[in-house]
Structure 1
Amino acid sequence: MTDQVVDTDARFLGRTRELKELRADIERAGLDTLSGRKAPRARVLLIAGRPGSGRTTLAEELVRQVAGRYPDGAVRVRLREPDGTRVPVERAARELLDALEVSAPAGAAEDELVEALRAALGGRRAVLLLDDAADAEQVDALLPDSPDCLAVAVSEGPLTGISDVRPCTLGGLDSKSAVELLSRATGSVRITVDPRAAEALAEQCQGQPAALVLAGGWLAARPKAAVADLAKQLHADTDDGTPVARVLQLVHASLPAPAARTLRLLSLAPAGLVDRHTASALAGCSVSDARTTLDDFAAVGLLRPVPSELPQYEQYEVPGCLHRLLHALAEAHERPGELQLARARMLERTVRLLQSCRAITETDSPQAREKLVGMPRSLRFPHPRAAADWLRARRPALLASARLAVADGELDTLARRLMAQLVRAMVAHFGTQAAASDLYGLHSLVLDVADRRRLPRERAAALLNLGDLDARTGRTADALVRYRAALDAGRRANDPYATGRAMESVGGAHLELGDYDRATDWFGRALAERLARDERADAARLYGRIAAAHTYAGRYGEALRNWRAAVAGYRKSGDVAAQARALSELARVQEYAGRPEESLRTCREAAEWARRAEDVRLQAALHLRLADTYEHLGDPASAALHRGTAERMLEEEALEASPGDSELEQGANACEIRSASAED
């Protein structure tokens, strides 16, 4: 998002002197070079100016002009929210890593992400555009160590603390460029017939591009109005505000009441991003009326279209220089209760869109189809691909919605529903692994709400999910702490599901840490809970986990006993595939225990059950194990036969498999956020 309101004509105007100085500053010898040392970090250029001065547009033009010297491209990040809130360094670093297509572990700390960013930029020639920086510490943390990179920072003032940086401070445009910017919106005729009035209007706007574009839009919407009339109105305005604020007041006052109210409420749009559904929910109007209003606002410079590869999901952004002004107008004209209601309507619409987005993937579910049919046509997606595209396009706004809902504090029930639906939609379309970093942030927000509202069940669910993500990224000790806290919360909530999951997860963490005695102890506690509730399938799985812990500890007798119990449990529950896998593991332990003949018999039995379960990969693996066992027993002919059978099975499966069959989704064990609402 930029600070300048821009029109559809992308030609850059003026700032010749500033561009020349900035380009010269790239070549300027720094203090390190003068002292005989090579510059240890990237060159930093600073463009300083008030919001609306065109500072971001100048930075973008500079990046465009020097792009040829930086073949690894340019990445950008905004360092303040539209309302002025400072963006955490870890979130900014992750956004830059995503733009560089470099993965980072979910839930990684700030230091780890910053180091990953610097490693990713090492050896590259790239440009970083750090837009709307809040302070020097924020910029300094993101600077690459590579002297071949360039960092262009945009800020409201100097960044004291970063050495060897000379700010390029922006004032207004020169008179010629300011008048030309006006003529783009009004047309050249009105400017030509009264050039002095145009110059007077540019002077009233102090050459600020944002004010000039708004003034031009006001004139374009009134073909019969003279340029001199607008200049006189601004001259008569005794308000001491900035030129942008004065012109916006005039534009706002001239709008019809419904449009003016919609414009004010756009300040509630998450991340300053708005689409037709957001505007419709905020204003309480139809989707078609909202779309027309947004198009009208964009035509006069009040909104900026967001470039996208998905034009069917067009979005607009509220320019940064207008966001706080619109928020002030909203507080002046709307009662607090009305603003709260508008925000609740927007979040409720988002929840319903997310429900539709997830339901379209559940093609085999009659309940999902019934829910879709009951939704208004405007909320439905034609097919899963369209839903995934919408989710991808709206991702920044959806994540911002979750953060805003939690920060509000008065909409916690709605916030929980929003985050539950967002988690489910992301898992359904992207998978847990691909969406891990976003899911980590969402579960952290759920934990904030649960702690604030003293909701032990939601706290347990959030801690379990965070622990799972920590465990997948190698932070097993952190995961163990979360699992223990989840166990306490599950017990307080009297939630047997969360308690059992937590016990098993504590055991899994100890197993990963190599503490096999504690692992078997915790698995045993979880097993006792499952047996007490006659949950046979879960009990069989836990027998297997206990057996695995004993195997790692070298206690093969105990491992064999528990694997046999697992096999019996799966047989009683009728899970043929799981029974085959358990028999396979039993055969492996028998081999470890020095019982090759028993292992051979068990392996044959497992292969037969795998055939019944139509698990080709397991069959092939078992045939390979049979081949190894026969070789160990001195029968190379049988070994070759089984090895050939395994290779043939794998080749046939590779030919028959579809492209998507190899992707395993890991979200099956996610502990969902529980809610009393039936809609969840």
Structure 2
Amino acid sequence: MTDQAVDTDGAGPSGDASAESHFLGRTRELKELRADIERAGLDTLSGRKAPRARVLLIAGRPGSGRTALAEELVRQVADRYADGVLRVRLGEPDGTPVPVERAARELLTALDLPTPPGAGEDELSEALRAALAERRVLLLLDDAAGAEQVDALLPDSPDCLAVAVSQGPLTGITDVRPCTLGGLDTKSALELLTRYTGSVRITVDPRAAESLVEVCQGQPAALALAGGWLAARPQAGVSDLAKRLHAEADEGTPLSRAFRLVHEQLPARAARILRLLSLAPAGLVDPHTASALAGCSVSTARTTLDDFVALNLLRAVDSPLPQYEIPGCLHPLLHALAESHDRPGELQLARARMLERTVRLLQSCRAITETDNPEAREKLQGLPRSLRFPSPRAAADWLDIRRPALLAAARLAVADGELDTLARRLMSQLVRAMVAHVGTQAAAPDLYGIHRLVLDVAERRRLSREKAAALLNLGDLDARTGRTSEALVRYRAALDAGREANDPYATGRAMESVGGTHQELGDYDRAADWFGRALAQRLARDERADAARLYGRIGTAHTYAGRYGEALRNWRAAVAGHRKSGDVAAQARALSELARVQEYAGRPEESLHTCQEAVEWARRADDVRLQAALQLRLADTLERLGDSAAARLHRGAAERMLGEELQESHESDAEADHGSDACEIRSTSIED
């Protein structure tokens, strides 16, 4: 679809230089909006400095060209705003308002600023306002449902401008004069039709063309559908279409009548695919989504989607991979058609096919990052070619491009409530794919939302084990972002769920996490107590490696509390446990900590002996960094004992070790970068 004044409710023109030649009409509206930017506000007239950004409101019904007008205005004035243009959509395709938390997070991400996982609406809104306070930006808020959404995102800077697109007034935001849109003027409407039909069909019967504009009430979206219908039928007369639409003048809006006509003229198979697109998450469609919904091949789906673009039923998204967007004004019409033409069971089956296809794609996306499993590679090769990615980079690109649709699919699957098994599989694979390609830390904001969805399903289905896992994951993310008290609440709830599920791993993990949280809060007595409870469980299950690690955690808590005798006893137990389990590196680290506590306890000779033993075990473990750290500790201890010459020797040895390791690390990175160019298909198991 071209960038003329055709409303797409968030899928409007890109605002580039080429948009000027495609935009039609609205000369008066643009003039008024530009004048409104310069107009003195109420604060200025009263002698006060404007405390916030000026808000321009473009109001109109879906299909009136409101988004296209907003984008054209942005294109014309963007050069006044040195820090660029930020865009966010505030309405879901089905009309549900987008939470302010999500909108603020998207804007902060666009500014390359951190968005703490789990942060609430107030925290993110405040962070956004602080980020924009020193910037001069133009903010486009598309498809706003109400004043509350807009108000929460407004910059506290008069140097910024916010352009809001909405169906009605934004009551509650002061000093806003709406620019309300009607239809296009006749000249512009005829020019829009000409772009699809060619000039001859309009000039040979100008009255019929004007009649068609009249019956469409100059609405750009209705005219675009009419133009697409005529373009697909070169032999059809403009008067024929005008008569058809006039005959149904009492049934619905011009847009709904034009849409119904286009749908009725489609082949049955294409019409069914079109209706099923109403199930596409976030209104974003790719050939795989359409293929799964309709139960057809990917190539057939791709051809059909391109046909829909020609008919102005879809808009092709500028993307490295084939992707399409359903115009927002058409989404409710698609949904209504699907409800009236397709049985609920068929719609549910289509949704299930789409989720199953998404799960398999996510499995393939994750599997290609794991290279060392021949069996996994063989299974991946057994997948249909359409589900395999040619390279890890291609998989990462797909994950990045489809991320909004994947997250929306998870939200919709959980909200549906009838496909919880598929929803759980989808969220599990989505987490694994994100961790594999993006990393836990970078993906944390998205992971937090996914784990909350898992928790919703687990509570609804009374799945105690999954509830415990979700709470543990959420607690970990809370703890990493400094929300320690919130993490403690999560971990205690996870402990209750783990006990209810009789899950030893979850209960042990939760007890240890509760202890770690108390330690973070400075309550070392409770920390040691909870670590002790977790230790008792590990000892009862003869889990020696975990027991040794917990001895160390208890020793750390006692060290912080200044109880060095208890700390030494537990660290010695940790050393013995790691020795029995054969973990040389862990034994070296435990000896290192034991030496530290001995030093704190005023036993420098013992600390020196233990540190020397730790160096030997670190050497056996080939842990150069630990060896260097221990050499430095030896140097400090020797310095305190009065042997400065020996201390200098150990410091020199530490510096040499760290220098050699740094050089080896650079060489290894260079080899990895050189070898990455030769990487083709990498695969692993696609099984859970």
Aligned 1:33-72 pairs, distance under 5 A: 33-72=44-83
Aligned 1:285-296 pairs, distance under 5 A: 285-296=296-307
- Please tell me the residue identity of whatever aligns with 1:3: D
User: Aligned pairs, how many?
Assistant: 662
Is 1:110 matched with 2:118? Answer: no
Please give the secondary structure, in 1, of the residue aligned with 2:252: coil
* Correspondent of 1:277 among 275, 278, 288: 288
Note if contact 2:10-2:143 (Cα within 8 Å) is conserved in structure 1: no
Is 1:2 matched with 2:4? Answer: no
Q: State the distance in 2 between where 1:357 and 1:619 align.
A: 39
Note if contact 1:6-1:210 (Cα within 8 Å) is conserved in structure 2: no
- Please tell me the residue identity of whatever aligns with 1:84: G
Query: 1:669 is matched with which residue?
Result: none
- Residues 601-645 of structure 1: CA deviation (Å, up to 9, x unaligned): 222222222222222221221122122222222222222222222
Greater Cα offset, 642-651 or 590-599: 642-651
Aligned 1:99-498 pairs, distance under 5 A: 99-308=110-319, 311=320, 313-498=321-506
- Pair 1:7–1:385, CA change in 2 (3 A): closer
Q: State the distance in 1 between where 2:668 and 2:447 align.
A: 23
Greater Cα offset, 521-530 or 571-580: 571-580
- Pair 1:504–1:584, CA change in 2 (3 A): same
Q: State the distance in 1 between where 2:125 and 2:395 align.
A: 33
- Please tell me the residue identity of whatever aligns with 1:2: T
- Please tell me the residue identity of whatever aligns with 2:210: E
* Correspondent of 1:557 among 522, 545, 565: 565
Deviation at 1:406, TM superposition (A): 0.4
Q: State the distance in 2 between where 1:546 and 1:74 align.
A: 53
Q: State the distance in 1 between where 2:254 and 2:628 align.
A: 74
Q: State the distance in 2 between where 1:288 and 1:402 align.
A: 26
Deviation at 1:5, TM superposition (A): 7.7
- Pair 1:5–1:432, CA change in 2 (3 A): closer
Deviation at 1:198, TM superposition (A): 1.9
- Residues 192-245 of structure 1: CA deviation (Å, up to 9, x unaligned): 322222222122211111111111111111111122221111112244311111
Q: State the distance in 2 between where 1:653 and 1:64 align.
A: 53
Query: 1:616 is matched with which residue?
Result: 624
Is 1:595 matched with 2:603? Answer: yes
Note if contact 1:4-1:51 (Cα within 8 Å) is conserved in structure 2: no
Query: 1:537 is matched with which residue?
Result: 545
Note if contact 1:7-1:213 (Cα within 8 Å) is conserved in structure 2: no
Greater Cα offset, 446-455 or 367-376: 367-376
Is 1:636 matched with 2:644? Answer: yes
Query: 2:97 is matched with which residue?
Result: 86
Please give the secondary structure, in 2, of the residue aligned with 1:433: helix
- Please tell me the residue identity of whatever aligns with 1:293: T
- Please tell me the residue identity of whatever aligns with 2:337: L
Query: 1:674 is matched with which residue?
Result: none
Q: State the distance in 2 between where 1:95 and 1:2 align.
A: 20
Q: State the distance in 2 between where 1:120 and 1:659 align.
A: 39
Note if contact 1:5-1:301 (Cα within 8 Å) is conserved in structure 2: no
Note if contact 2:215-2:249 (Cα within 8 Å) is conserved in structure 1: no
- Pair 1:261–1:500, CA change in 2 (3 A): same
Q: State the distance in 2 between where 1:349 and 1:618 align.
A: 47
Q: State the distance in 1 between where 2:307 and 2:658 align.
A: 60
- Please tell me the residue identity of whatever aligns with 1:515: D
Deviation at 1:679, TM superposition (A): 5.0
- Residues 367-398 of structure 1: CA deviation (Å, up to 9, x unaligned): 43243123211111122111111111100000
Please give the secondary structure, in 2, of the residue aligned with 1:154: strand
* Correspondent of 1:501 among 500, 509, 528: 509
Aligned-residue sequence identity (percent) comes to 83
Q: State the distance in 1 between where 2:90 and 2:370 align.
A: 38
Q: State the distance in 2 between where 1:648 and 1:28 align.
A: 68
Note if contact 2:89-2:144 (Cα within 8 Å) is conserved in structure 1: yes
Deviation at 1:191, TM superposition (A): 2.0
Q: State the distance in 2 between where 1:230 and 1:607 align.
A: 88
- Please tell me the residue identity of whatever aligns with 2:95: G
Note if contact 2:12-2:71 (Cα within 8 Å) is conserved in structure 1: no
Is 1:576 matched with 2:553? Answer: no
Q: State the distance in 2 between where 1:379 and 1:343 align.
A: 18
- Pair 1:140–1:565, CA change in 2 (3 A): same
Greater Cα offset, 253-262 or 561-570: 561-570
Note if contact 2:13-2:68 (Cα within 8 Å) is conserved in structure 1: no
Deviation at 1:542, TM superposition (A): 0.6
- Please tell me the residue identity of whatever aligns with 1:630: L
- Please tell me the residue identity of whatever aligns with 1:651: G
Please give the secondary structure, in 1, of the residue aligned with 2:330: helix
Please give the secondary structure, in 2, of the residue aligned with 1:77: strand
Deviation at 1:580, TM superposition (A): 1.5
Deviation at 1:661, TM superposition (A): 7.2
Q: State the distance in 2 between where 1:99 and 1:221 align.
A: 39
Please give the secondary structure, in 2, of the residue aligned with 1:434: helix
Note if contact 2:11-2:325 (Cα within 8 Å) is conserved in structure 1: no
Note if contact 1:5-1:213 (Cα within 8 Å) is conserved in structure 2: no
Greater Cα offset, 602-611 or 132-141: 602-611
Unaligned runs of 5+ in 1: 663-677
- Residues 402-449 of structure 1: CA deviation (Å, up to 9, x unaligned): 000000010111111111111111111111110111010000001111
Unaligned runs of 5+ in 2: 1-6, 671-685
